[in-house]
Amino acid sequence: MHKIFIIARREYLERVRTKSFIVMTFLIPALMLAVTVLPSMLMMKGGGGTKHLVVVASDARTADLIRQQLLKLSEDQKNRPASNSQMERDNMPSIGTLSVDADTDVSDAHRSALTEKVKNKQLDGVIFATKDALAQRKVSFLTRDVSGFITNAAIERGMNQALRRDLLKSKGMNDQEIDKAMLNVDLSPQSPTGTGNPQVVFFTVFSMAMILYMVTLLYGINVMRAILEEKSSRVMEVMLSTAKANEMMAGKILGVGAVGLTQIAIWALMVIVPSAAGAIAFAQLIKGVLSVKVLVYFAVFFLLGFTLYSTLCAAVGAMVNSEQEAQQLQFIVMMPMIISVIIMVNIIQNPTSSAALWASLFPLTAPLIMFLRVALQSPAWWEIAISIGLMMATIVGLVWVCGRIYRVGILMYGKKPTLPELMKWIRYA
């Protein structure tokens, strides 16, 4: 064990001190922020500023109703309740300030004139709510801002509210009754297990499963490349004089695995530490969405899955002599994990099906599928025990088999071994 930890320590320190580790540790979160958060922020804030709109209708009453509702929508946004937290106010869609004019000239000439004004940026948009358009339930909104989804959706909502208010008023309802009738009712899903909103739980668990998949895939391949690099540089021949092949393989798996866990820990701290709000939100997430059981099983299946696939990748690294050969075999090794991701949707919809049961017991798909079942709908304890037991037994068997391949393969150079040759390595190593 002492030699294993020495090799793992060397592998760990060698990798965390590299510039690539430092750069990727900070570059990956930045890229994720740019891909996910920034577009949402731009969509939320992109509607700011003053927008000059014109509502064209066949009669003054309809035009004025739509105009008043849009102005009310803009005013309500300015007067959001002060009780809302700053985070909630910042994350609410912003449509900016609206300046709306009413117009009853529906002639083609006037429509062309308004179109030219939009083209020349004299107007931000024109709503053509003519009698024919309302009868067909299809109103045209002429605008240059083709990417302003939130603003356009808000304008559509305001126009529909105005038309509904007009219809309800024609039925004899007063303004107070109309306001009450048009109030939205919030539907708040709750899980019978007390873990909060089922949709939030689903997306949280799905994200954790994808993290498990990505980290296992990424760092399993890193183990393979580490072995391939040292094999190509003949460092293995020196190391074998002081350590056994099995000790070297175990040390590399532990070292590269520790690098992956370090990177994940840094990413977690980058999210939690910068603000007290982040720490409080994380604590509330664990309390309201994730149970201690889910977090424990996440760690268990992550470690088992990483060890299992890293062992297979180590054997591939020992067998091949180039990066091209490794890429051909690594797809085969990772195929069960990829299949797990493909069938995840069906498993999520029906976590008690026979397919979910057998996929959660099969050792190569169990790390993802059994974790999903535990997190979404806890299976019987004996199913979890059998799944973990089979994975541990598979890991022990793979360590023995792959260790024998590793022992011979790290000193073999030249052509890629055939299947009969691999069987000989296992038999005589």
pTM of the full structure: 0.62
Token readout for 30 is: 């930045």
Query: What are the structural domains of the chain?
Result: 51-181 (3.40.190), 193-428 (no CATH)
Dihedral Cα 216, 31, 291, 193, nearest 10 deg: -110
pLDDT along the chain (429 residues), means of 10: 82 82 77 65 57 88 87 74 43 65 90 90 88 86 71 80 82 82 70 55 70 76 76 66 74 80 77 58 56 79 84 78 75 83 79 84 88 80 91 85 71 66 69
User: Residue 53 to residues 97, 126, 163, 219, 291: CA-CA distances in angstroms?
Assistant: 11, 6, 18, 55, 50
- Closest by Cα among 3, 11, 4, 415 to 229: 11
Task: Write out pLDDT tens, residues 315-338.
Answer: 777 777 777 777 777 788 888 888
Which pair of tokens denotes residue 239? 């190391």
Q: What angle do CA 303, 304, 308 make, to 5 degrees?
A: 115
Please check whether residue 53 is in contact with residue 101, taking contact to mean a CB–CB distance below 8 angstroms: yes
d(CA 359, CA 7): 35
Farthest-apart Cα atoms in the chain, separation: 95
For the stretch 375-401, pLDDT in tens is 777 788 898 999 999 999 988 888 777
140-143 and 97-103 beta bridge pairing: unpaired
Report angle CA 126, 58, 135 to the nearest 5 degrees: 90
